[in-house]
Structure 1
Amino acid sequence: REAPEGDTGVAKVIAVDRGHPPLTSTVTLSITVTDVNDCPPRLLPPTVLHVTEGAPPTLLGVLTATDYDVWALGHGPPFNISLAPTNPAHVLNHIKLIFDLHLDSGRGGAELWTSRAVDREEHPQLLVQVVVADAGKVAATNTVTVIIDDVNDNPMKPASKTVYLWKTQGGGSDAPLGRVYVKDPDDWDLGDKTFRWVGSPHPLFSLNTQDGTIFASSQVREGRYELHFSVSDRVWRQRGVSANVTVAEMLTQDALSHAAPITLTPTTPTDLTRGWTPMINYKNYVLV
């Protein structure tokens, strides 16, 4: 019944007698599909909410629901909204839900709050499982994503990284090598930072001083290059924090001809790197 135009149907029936000549008659039948409570309710947007890192208990938003079934038959509101018991401990420790039957014009709704400050460096986001049930007790679990907005609350420390640049052919455009790396748990503080060369810029590399991106010239040849940068942070009043980058340009045509693709399944890049914390010295691989 919930399909497009699925609540009604039309059928044409033709009757033919055995006379000579045969006579016919046509009748149109209208079919009404009676609703049953087979659709669980779902949360209405927004289901992606934000809170600032370190903020005191905060109202994130008001959750409301809807249902595809026929409300007049008792297959819809009032809705009941609650936290699922399957939520992990860290979600239950940081989130509380206050249900109010009078919200949303009496259909039922819930206020979603943080119950304490959240550290983004510990929890970049909270996936909150919310159970929504209709008046007939048909229920489903919905997910509300709470994104913890980063605050620049950690000073940076000197660090270095190694980038392996693999070129398959000469010429072409400049190759981006990623960003100058300093050890900093914050990840939304790029606007507070500026990047500089230490000493004279290398003629084969360029630097975007606003976002720290390094580019290798198309003229770079096989070898090893030591690049020295410094990073400043206006919030922490840090100046000249050391950030060194080693670029190794290496890939022969023979190596390319013997290369083979590798696919890691069923894992995803997110799953593969979950829980990984970069060390002070880490490596990037760039293929151009």
Structure 2
Amino acid sequence: MRKILITGASGFLGWHLCQLIKPQWEVYGTYFTHAVEIPDIKMLKVNLTDFQGLQQIFREIQPTAVIHTAAQSQPNYCQNYPEQSHAINVTASCNIAGLCADNSIPCVFTSTDLVFDGLNSPYREKDPVCPVNRYGEQKVMAEVGMLERYPMTAVCRMPLMFGAAAPTATSFMQPFMQTLKEGKQLNLFIDEFRTPVSGTTAAKGLLLALEKVNGIIHLGGKERISRYDFGSLLVEVFQLPTTGLKACRQQDVKMAAPRPSDVSLDSSKAFALGYAPLSLREELEKLVKSQESRVKSQESRVSS
């Protein structure tokens, strides 16, 4: 069986990717802070900023492909701790591209829609980058550095992602839902727009990129939506309390990292290759059904 190395397997996207890929590959997943066991996946504790340790992993596993999802992806953290976040987001990423080049194996990298300034959406792959925060800057540096070291790298710019919680990571929708269930106020931006996809859809896009892409590709969803309107849809589909949902603007919330207003992605290039996100309503309805089936399964185990 082909061997694949997935960095950041304990993260939200990495975990979803492992669920999808394990029937076809022998999967090795890395984690650093959050230990997690994933059935049929060989999990390894690895400090990706330790280049010698990284070389050792490549020598021992001898992967035939790498998907690099590990990152420090909190913009506020990157803004406040630029050196620590640069080490994982830029230096480690470029080293991974170099090792993939040395071994002539496919390399897939997860970048972000935050490489753009939000003033000229929807963004295509060839549009000039102009990040407004340090996280976006670091991802731009990683994109450039990785493609310089290994032009065959597939650089996948990812949108906002949602979906079922992983054992050690959630998407943005879990805190939203918890806040509303507790009867607290949830303030969501009406002036920040993205093109979200589910974690499962994003993982399918990465596998498509692994097979078909060299260079930059956008893996956004088909719908441009504000955080507030996404919250409204979430409330409707999951039948959550509506009283706590409140509209606000970016300027109302003080954040360390500046946020672009509209980084919607034009993902036509990926759609033409077979990338096929569902509508947001369909994605959320699938999550509801999956949640209901898990509850029924647990209840039947208890009763038996």
TM, length-normalised to structure 1? 0.22
Which structure: greater strand fraction? Answer: 1
Report 1 or 2 for greater relative contact order, CA contacts < 8 Å, sequence distance ≥ 6: 2
Could you state the TM-score of these two structures normalised by the residue count of structure 2?
0.21
Q: Relative to total residues, which structure has the larger helix share, 1 or 2?
A: 2
